[in-house]
Structure 1
Amino acid sequence: MTSNTLEHRCYQPKTLLYQRPLLLLHGAWHGAWCWDNAAHDFAERGFAVHTLSLRGHGRSSMPRYFNTVGLNHYIDDLLALVATLKPAPIVVGHSLGGYILQHAVMQHPLPAAILLASMPQTGPLGFTLRTMRTQPSVLLRAFATADGYGFVRTPALAKYLFLRDNASAAQTQAIHSQLGSESLRVLLDALMHKPKPSQIKTPIMVIAAERDRVFTLAEQRSLANAYQAPLIIVPQAAHDLMFDPAWPLVADAIEGWASRHQTSLFDQPTP
């Protein structure tokens, strides 16, 4: 744990091949735990790797009134960790974590960023409308009970959102058992407060899952276009790419992007 009660995990490589570390940021309902296998993979590839659980997630402290936690709190959590890392990290943001990352780089430019199955720059409206159309009871229950866990309260719901149709019951249960609640205020904040791509100078790459049920391929193409960013589409993959059988393709793409941005004017002192 760090002094600000946020869970921070660090994975060191046996041989450091890349000077610039990776920081992996989870999405809604997840925590640092979701990156464990991915972080070990990147450490084996020669990166120092950091993962973070946002407040109220993983082993970070739970705020007394979780639904008062807003998008800016999560942005602050990310930037607080970024400020401690030297040299500046390359950040990978998954799902809601990608939306947090888009806002964070408006305040604090980074050497490079990867948006992984990310919430698009237009926010969560598409996801909300699709949930209302396909699973209205889920959305209504979540708002009626003011409990964001309602979106993922059963293994079946979690599998539908995050995993391939052929994912095993054991894998589904293992992931579902670690999911936590989510602040509904963050969803509302994300609907109202959107990043401004024209103000962002950080080099961005977008990686999309072809069969993502949370954010559509059309939304991912729009996201890449907004940032004039390269787009990689992972065939057959589902939303939780860190658990997907296609993870090696994802890791190769992230390593390639990170290797291109090991040096940056970002770290140069101002004359």
Structure 2
Amino acid sequence: MQCVNLRRARLWRIPDQTAGSLPTILFVHGAWLGAWTFENFLGYFAERGVGCAAIDLRGHGGLVQDDVFLTSGQREMAEDVVEACQAIGGEVVVAGHSAGAAVAAIAASRFPTVGLVLLAPSPPGQLPGLEPQAPVPDGRPFAPGSIEHVKRKFVPNFSHEDVVDFAERLVHESPALLNDRRLLRVEIDRSRISGPALCLSAEKELGDFHKPGQDLATARFYDAEYWFLTGAGHCFSLEPHWRDAAFVIERWYGSHFLIP
């Protein structure tokens, strides 16, 4: 696996085995997480000869959490994704999880990607029916919460021991990124995003940020194919049945980018 240091982020990449003839899938993690969220997916697609990559956004994966990080929201972190797309070269499908889905969509509106995958996505700020949530305090990184909260929010299907291991890998998050979602501050221009889209929704979501029907409405906003993952938690890329999600992505990718 190749590691590429960007200006404020870090790119992990497994080149494809087809001399660059297929688009690379670039995975973008959500709040408190990192590129490690996609370890299973990277191996899965690499085994199938598809180029794939994952990014540690600024302040994640052990990268510095400075004053710039504290004021970096969805728009600023999208700069990291655009830079990663440029570093990859060739065609790119961006695949974002949670807050990273909004970041990926913003990047896709700025850079000519060929496809968009939304995994348990944060919605665009202008989606009808959304209600603002209480903001977190500005000026300092925000912790992910207790072990019990982490289990309910991220990995409800994990054992206690696995939740503890998972929680140890989480980082504190930029309040600007969190408040962009909570206060619905960022609208996304769908007309500037090219290529097909796919949206995967998890059943076991906390209701405050993934109300019933919200992910389906998000999929419709992006004109995306929609799949509901029964029994899945928010971080389904790490759960025991992660291959179910990987197969859906593979099938969608193959239908658009592989010659029959």
Give the TM-score taking structure 1 as reference length: 0.82
Give the CA deviation at 1:105. Answer: 1.7
Identity of aligned residues (%): 24
What secondary structure does 1:209 align onto?
Answer: strand
How many matched pairs? 250
The correspondence for 2:167, drawn from 155, 159, 176, is 176
| Correspondence for 1:154 among 146, 150, 165 | 146
Q: Say if 2:22 and 2:50, in contact at 8 Å, map to a contact too.
A: yes
Is residue 193 of structure 2 the alignment partner of residue 200 of structure 1? yes
1:144 is displaced (CA, Å) by 8.0
Supply the distance in 1 between the matched residues of 2:147 and 2:139 (Cα, whole angstroms). 19
Q: Which of 211-220 and 108-117 deviates more? A: 211-220
More strand by share: 2
Supply the distance in 2 between the matched residues of 1:143 and 1:126 (Cα, whole angstroms): 21
- Structure 2: 5+ residue stretches without partners: none
The equivalent of 1:25 in structure 2 is 28
- Superposed, which structure 2 residues align to 1:132-147 within 5 Å? 142-143=136-137, 146-147=140-141
**What residue in structure 1 maps to residue 229 of structure 2?**
234
2:217 maps to which residue? 222
C-alpha separation between the residues in 1 aligned to 2:176 and 2:161? 32
**Residue 101, structure 1, aligned to residue 92, structure 2:** no
1:71, CA displacement in angstroms?
2.3
* Cα distance in structure 2, aligned partners of 1:185 and 1:244: 28
Would you say the 8 A contact 1:103–1:195 is kept in 2? yes
Paired residues for 1:1-271 under 5 Å: 1-12=4-15, 15-16=17-18, 19-122=22-125, 129=133, 142-143=136-137, 146-149=140-143, 152-164=144-156, 166-190=157-181, 191-213=184-206, 214-262=209-257
Cα pair 2:8 2:57 within 8 Å, conserved: no
Structure 1 residue runs of 5 or longer lacking an equivalent are 133-138, 264-271
1:267: which partner in 2?
none
Equivalent residue of 1:240, what SS? coil
In structure 2, the CA distance between the partners of 1:5 and 1:122, relative to structure 1 (3 Å rule), is: closer
Residue identity in the other structure for 2:205? D
Aligned CA RMSD, in angstroms, stands at 2.6
Structure 1 runs of 4+ with >4 Å offset: 15-18, 123-128
In the alignment, is the contact (CA less than 8 A) between 1:32 and 1:51 conserved in 2?
yes
Q: What's the CA shift for 1:205?
A: 0.9
Using the TM superposition, give the Cα deviation of residue 145 of structure 1 relative to its aligned residue in structure 2, in angstroms: 7.9
Higher helix share: 1
Compute the displacement of 1:45 (Å): 2.1
- Deviation, structure 1 residue 196: 2.6
